[in-house]
Amino acid sequence: MRLPNWLHKLASPPHFYRIAGRIEPWMLWSGLAAIAVGAFGGLLLAPPDYQQGDAYRIIYFHVPAAYLAMQLYALMAIGSAIGLVWRMKLAYAISAAAAPVGLAFTGLALATGMLWGKPMWGAYWSWGDARLTSVLVMFFLYLGYMLLHASLEERSTADRAAGILAVVGVVNLPIIKFSVEWWSSLHQGPTISRLAAPAITWDMLWPLLVMIVGAVLFSLAVTLTRARAEVLLRERGARWVRDVVAVGA
């Protein structure tokens, strides 16, 4: 199987550097605007919950963070898979750029979940809960990827070794997603992503959706910025990089 031509064109480092530089500010500012609107709606406009009062408002940070943590892992793994099979260097660069962003969102999801768990469940953490444990495993997969990548001197070896780890870890994604349905757990079931109608009223739901869109745009913007820097570093011997640096663009 060959990759489509347009993808090859996009994957040329100078082309990617230019395109990404043009898209990135739009994503960053629209993402930040959406996060501001979503936070305002979620923290001030949405009504309190019938059971949890105001404490439920942490979902406006917890859910987007957890969603992005998984999406970025998928991005990192797909990038690594493309790199492993098609030897596309840009794909490896994007994986390496996405890892710390995903790690940060996983940490945020864990931290907000613990802050929520203490008042609602009565404990910050409960060992044995499949959802909590599988997300913690993802945290260590991100960390393992970054450490492995950093520990190997030769960049192509590092890309391949860490890439294999990223692809292997994909097994964890469906486990995270379905953990609350396959096993009895302390963590509640899905509210939005289920076949029936969302189990949340509209005035509480819209800020959450806006927050998720904002988080997606923001995290992609950060990943693109990091990927551009990664490309510059990796191609530092190339002529186009010298041109870019000379112009200062």
Nearer to other proteins, 23 or 123 (CB): 123
What is the smallest separation between the CB atom of 120 and other proteins, expressed in angstroms? 6
Residues at the site binding other proteins, with contacts judged by CB under 8 A: 1, 47-52, 56, 59, 81, 84-87, 119-123, 126, 128-130, 167-168, 170-171, 175, 183-186, 188-191, 199-201, 203-204
- Closest to 221 measured CA to CA, from 40, 104, 97, 113: 97
Query: Residue 76 has which token pair?
Result: 């990192």
Q: Closest separation between CB of residue 53 and other proteins, Å?
A: 9
In Å, how far are 109, 159, 185, 210 from 100, measured between CA atoms?
A: 14, 15, 29, 24
Residue closer to other proteins, measured from CB, 9 or 194: 194
For other proteins, the closer CB: 26 or 183: 183
State how far the Cα of 107 lies from the Cα of 247, in Å rounded to an integer: 38
CB of 161 to other proteins, least distance (A): 14
| Min dist. Cβ of residue 17 to other proteins (A) | 25
Tell me whether residue 37 or residue 88 sits nearer to other proteins (CB atom). Answer: 88
Nearer to other proteins, 156 or 188 (CB): 188
Is 53 strand, coil or helix?
Answer: strand
CB atoms within 10 A of CB 101: 23
Identify which of residues 87 and 242 has a Cβ nearer to other proteins in the complex: 87
Pairwise CA distance, residues 21 & 37, whole Å: 25
CB atoms within 10 A of CB 119: 11
Which CB, 49 or 100, lies closer to other proteins?
A: 49
Q: How far is the CB of 19 from other proteins (least distance, A)?
A: 25
R_g of the chain computed on alpha carbons: 20
CB atoms within 10 A of CB 242: 12
Tell me the one-letter amino acid at 52: Q
Smallest gap from Cβ 229 to other proteins, in A, equals 28
Q: 3-state DSSP call for residue 49?
A: strand
Query: What are the Cα distances from residue 131, in Å, to 66, 102, 111, 117, 174?
Result: 11, 17, 14, 13, 11
- Least distance from C-beta 186 to other proteins, angstroms? 6
